[in-house]
């Protein structure tokens, strides 16, 4: 599908550019061997970057030139470019952590963009210093310095023996430090703010990660709509209820939390909302991804006291039950086009004493995606903790309201509007 200057038509400047040489190495690596579509995407957006042609790397242009979409196709309904860009970011990260660990340059695709960037990766190499031994000359008793190789055999053996004991001691200390770090979530792989915010879910028994999946009536050919509460409680004989769809934001959220838990060497139990049994749920910490409107099973749980969801044919948003100075009573998203969404991040007491619940839900699936990404990244966690963390270091129950800007069906800028601590 992708057929650009790679096959003999590229000008000499591109061929001589060290960035293009890196691109070709990455494209031919084991990481990309089984992904020809991602390889084509990488080659195209990298060429656009080197040629300084961002106008050729828009979602529309990539869809047509890499994935064969028709001119003018609806990119808000066809997410092929966004989906593959997300996979490309993962593949690039994997390459530079393994095969490309020694590359001097790194290739990244910034989130929300498609044009690659090249960054330097300084790898200073510290040359070993020769062992210098001080002794004294017989004649003048002056201090002289001699390299290790010039010493007698016995002296060299003594130095090597001491060196081995030094390295053994350093190794034992390193092992002890590593073991302590793994057990306290303070290791360098996970940011301290993230460890503090997510500690109840990263330690102890694995929490339940429950993602919403709405129930629809109809089918994909004749059309689908959300099932009403009455239809769920007493399904009509001719009604076809479908409960196996979920949004792209929920899928992205599960991926983001998987990365976070992997960094902390922790795990969770994944459940879609309609398969949750509350006998199991009350014994665990709970993480909810998605709107309560699509997660009817959670309506029996204690509701949010600061922000409540409202939805009608005219508008949908969050009602601020206790507005503070400068805050609005209602935060309403625009219906068409969808350029802004709101989301809630909350940490609340669980179903039993000592248990916790984390809610990450937007008005739409894109708002949910923004909420999870905000809470699972160091800067977002740190911003939440500025208000939620008490003087004793404990994280108090809170409800936070986010606003995200949406461009081209992708949540980009996310802003913490307010946070209410219980």
Classify residue 24: in a domain, yes or no: yes
Classify residue 7: in a domain, yes or no: no
Mean pLDDT of the region 182-206: 76
Residues 199, 175: one domain? Answer: no
Residues 159, 228: one domain? Answer: no
Residues 241, 294: one domain? Answer: yes
Mean pLDDT of the region 70-93: 87
In whole angstroms, what is the distance from residue 32 CA to residue 27 CA?
Answer: 6
- 3-state class (DSSP) for residue 417: strand
Quick: pLDDT tens for 236-295.
Answer: 766 677 777 788 889 999 999 999 999 888 999 998 887 777 777 788 999 999 877 666
Residues 109, 138: one domain? Answer: no
Q: Which domain holds residue 142?
A: 132-184
Tokens at 228, concatenated: 């009403």
- 3-state class (DSSP) for residue 330: strand
In whole angstroms, what is the distance from residue 1 CA to residue 69 CA?
Answer: 10
More confident residue, 282 or 131: 282
pLDDT band, very low/low/confident/very high, at 144 (cuts 50, 70, 90): very low
Quick: pLDDT tens for 345-378.
Answer: 999 998 888 899 999 999 989 999 999 999 999 9
Tell me: pLDDT of 69 over 60. yes
Residues 51, 22: one domain? Answer: yes
Lowest mean pLDDT: which of 25-29, 147-151, 180-184, 194-198? 180-184
Cβ 50 vs Cβ 10: under 8 Å: no
In whole angstroms, what is the distance from residue 41 CA to residue 83 CA?
Answer: 12
Quote the pTM value. Answer: 0.56
Count: domains in the chain: 3
Identify the CA nearest to 349 among candidates 405, 411, 394: 394
Return mean pLDDT, the chain: 79
Lowest mean pLDDT: which of 15-29, 121-135, 213-227, 251-265? 121-135
Lowest mean pLDDT: which of 28-42, 62-76, 295-309? 295-309
In whole angstroms, what is the distance from residue 119 CA to residue 109 CA?
Answer: 11
Classify residue 396: in a domain, yes or no: yes
Tell me: pLDDT of 204 over 60. yes
pLDDT band, very low/low/confident/very high, at 199 (cuts 50, 70, 90): very high
Lowest mean pLDDT: which of 156-160, 206-210, 321-325? 156-160
Mean pLDDT of the region 409-413: 83
Classify residue 246: in a domain, yes or no: yes
Cβ 315 vs Cβ 385: under 8 Å: no
pLDDT band, very low/low/confident/very high, at 146 (cuts 50, 70, 90): very low
- 3-state class (DSSP) for residue 389: strand
Question: Domain end: 100, 120, 140, which one?
Answer: 120
Classify residue 113: in a domain, yes or no: yes
Quick: pLDDT tens for 116-129.
Answer: 899 887 654 444 54
Tokens at 21, concatenated: 């040489």
Residues 293, 387: one domain? Answer: yes
């Amino acid at each position: 599908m992708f057929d650009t200057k790679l096959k003999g038509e590229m000008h000499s400047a591109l061929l001589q550019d060290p960035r293009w040489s890196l691109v070709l190495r990455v494209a031919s690596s084991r990481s990309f061997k089984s992904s020809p579509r991602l390889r084509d995407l990488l080659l195209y957006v990298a060429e656009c970057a080197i040629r300084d042609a961002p106008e050729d790397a828009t979602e529309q242009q990539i869809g047509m030139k890499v994935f064969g979409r028709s001119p003018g196709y609806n990119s808000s309904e066809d997410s092929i470019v966004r989906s593959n860009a997300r996979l490309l970011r993962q593949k690039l990260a994997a390459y530079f952590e393994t095969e490309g660990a020694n590359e001097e340059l790194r290739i990244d695709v910034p989130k929300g963009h498609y044009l690659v960037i090249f960054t330097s990766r300084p790898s200073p190499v510290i040359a070993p210093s020769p062992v210098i031994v001080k002794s004294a000359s017989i004649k003048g008793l002056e201090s002289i310095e001699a390299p290790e190789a010039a010493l007698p055999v016995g002296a060299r053996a003594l130095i090597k023996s001491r060196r081995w004991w030094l390295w053994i001691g350093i190794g034992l200390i390193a092992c002890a430090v590593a073991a302590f770090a793994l057990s306290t979530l303070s290791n360098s792989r996970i940011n301290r703010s993230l460890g503090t915010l997510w500690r109840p879910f990263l330690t102890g028994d694995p929490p339940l990660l429950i993602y919403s999946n709405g129930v629809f009536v109809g089918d994909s050919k004749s059309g689908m709509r959300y099932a009403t509460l009455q239809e769920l409680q007493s399904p009509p004989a001719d009604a076809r209820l479908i409960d196996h769809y979920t949004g792209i934001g929920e899928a992205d959220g599960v991926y983001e939390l998987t990365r976070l838990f992997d960094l902390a060497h922790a795990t969770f139990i994944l459940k879609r909302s309609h398969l949750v049994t509350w006998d199991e749920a009350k014994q665990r910490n709970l993480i909810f991804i998605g709107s309560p409107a699509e997660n009817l099973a959670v309506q029996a749980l204690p509701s949010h006291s600061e922000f409540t969801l409202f939805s009608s044919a005219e508008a949908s948003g969050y009602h601020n039950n206790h507005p503070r100075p400068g805050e609005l009573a209602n935060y309403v998203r625009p219906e068409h086009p969808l350029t802004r969404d709101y989301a809630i991040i909350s940490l609340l007491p669980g179903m039993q004493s000592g248990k916790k619940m984390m809610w990450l839900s937007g008005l739409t699936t894109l708002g949910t995606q923004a909420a999870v990404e905000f809470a699972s990244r160091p800067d977002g966690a740190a911003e939440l903790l500025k208000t939620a963390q008490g003087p004793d270091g404990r994280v108090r129950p809170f409800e936070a309201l986010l606003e995200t800007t949406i461009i081209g069906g992708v949540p980009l800028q996310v802003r913490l509007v307010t946070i209410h601590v219980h």
